A = this chain, B = another copy of it.
Amino acid sequence: MVETDLAPGAAGIACHEKPVKITTMDAQTIKVACSNCNLRELCMPLGLNAEQLDKIDEIVAVRRKVKRGSTLFHNGEKFTSLYAIRTGFFKTCVGTDDGRDQVTGFQMAGEIIGLDGIVHDHHTCDAVALEDAEVCVMPFDRIEELSREVNALQHHVHKIMSREIVREHGVMLLLGSMRAEERLAAFLLNLVQRLHARGFSQSELVLRMTREEIGSYLGLKLETVSRTFSKFADDGIVEVKQRHVRILDTDALRKIVNSPACH
């Protein structure tokens, strides 16, 4: 609902396997090679020949580890690269002058972050790791260079950006017209759906973010998020134990999202 399905070969661009340790480099950044990454199907265009794959291999400059709680990039920082998430979980958020901030998305393995930086050559949001993470660093000038040669890559980049635009349309719909229960139901359905596409359970998940972060994303206060979780639990729709959530009745969640605003 909120975010589109993860079509195969759709989420990212390139993710690299076979790490090659280079002792003289910063321990945070490790040079890598890529073409047999286990996330490849998640994040590369399909149907490439060997030569094209080799070229795309060259996109990823390095991998970088990001500790839980620290930022991959932050508002105002010079834009140089897009990042493909290999492992871990991120949030992105924008802030106002007066201290408010708004979580604009949660990103997981195989997804791409950093697109916001292209327009002004500087990032306009923060990307914060919600758990220890590792990303593939893809210098954007390399991406542009290569996508002039490999048509499939060019189109893939366009699709990634378009997908993000469509995802945000969904969030606007959620924020603009749904009530608390609908928002949380849509949020949960979206999360399990994306996790399921990565081989995790359809019904069980561990939230990587706090109630406050969920609230920020959904335009609600953390107390409302907590209360809504409790209501879902009372209704037998989910089991909630802190950040562990088990969905008992997926259809009930779907009905909540699609209910024609009954009141």
Contact = CB atoms under 8 A, between A and B. Distances in A.
A199 interface: no
A170 B117 contact: no
Interface stretch (A23-31, A98-106, A130-138, A187-195): A98-106
Interface in A169-198: 169-173, 175-177
Interface residues of A, number: 52
B168 A119 contact: no
A84 B159 CA distance: 19
A169 B119 CA distance: 13
Contact of A259 (B98, B155, B260): B98
A116 B162 contact: yes
B99 A165 contact: no
A51 interface: no
Interface string A102-132: 1010000000000111111000110000000
Contacts of A261: 98, 100
Given A102-B177, A151-B144, A177-B100, A125 B159 contact: no
Nearest to A99: B260
A-B CB proximity, top 9 nearest: A118-B162, A175-B175, A176-B219, A168-B168, A161-B161, A98-B260, A119-B162, A102-B173, A119-B163
